[in-house]
Amino acid sequence: MSKKIKELELNDLRKTFKGVRDFVLLEPIKLDSASDYTLRKGLRDKKIRVKMVKNSFVKKVFDENGVKVDPGSGPTLLCWGAGSVKELSIAVDALLKQLRPDPKQPEKVKAKTAIADGQPVTLEVGKTIPTKQEAIGGVVAALL
């Protein structure tokens, strides 16, 4: 890849992920075209975007935005959107379970990590983090 193409790709990623603080990193292991379509369509229906990104670009772009991300090895699918990291994590987890209905089958996609407001957490923790409305409701209930 030439320097010009790399710079164009980085500029596009900078523009796309400017201000994004909640996302989930996935690793496609044995993702075939039908499963990829199911994954992307299911997330698109929930207003969640998916993009395959080179690991070095992920690290560089998010370091510039002040988010420490370790994408690890292997290809990376970035999922972002939804109202909160909880909604995003629940939607991604449901689709991962849908792609692997039988636990004896090999995984097609593996969750690497979730990022909640710039802090890395596991996908399981991401599903339990309260949304903004839930947090406000909890404070108001405590005050009453």
Task: For 103-130, write each residue's pLDDT tens digit.
Answer: 777 888 888 888 888 888 888 888 888 7
> Number of H helices and number of E strands within the chain?
6, 5
Give per-residue pLDDT as tens, 60-94.
888 888 888 888 788 889 999 877 888 888 899 99
- Predicted local confidence at residue 49, as pLDDT: 92
The more confidently predicted of residues 44 and 21 is 44
Which among 110, 90, 91 is positioned nearest to 100, based on CA atoms?
110
Write the DSSP assignment of 18-62 as a string of letters.
TT---EEEEEESS--HHHHHHHHHHHHHTTEEEEEE-HHHHHHHH
- Predicted local confidence at residue 105, as pLDDT: 78
- Predicted local confidence at residue 67, as pLDDT: 82
24, 114 in Cβ contact below 8 A? Answer: yes
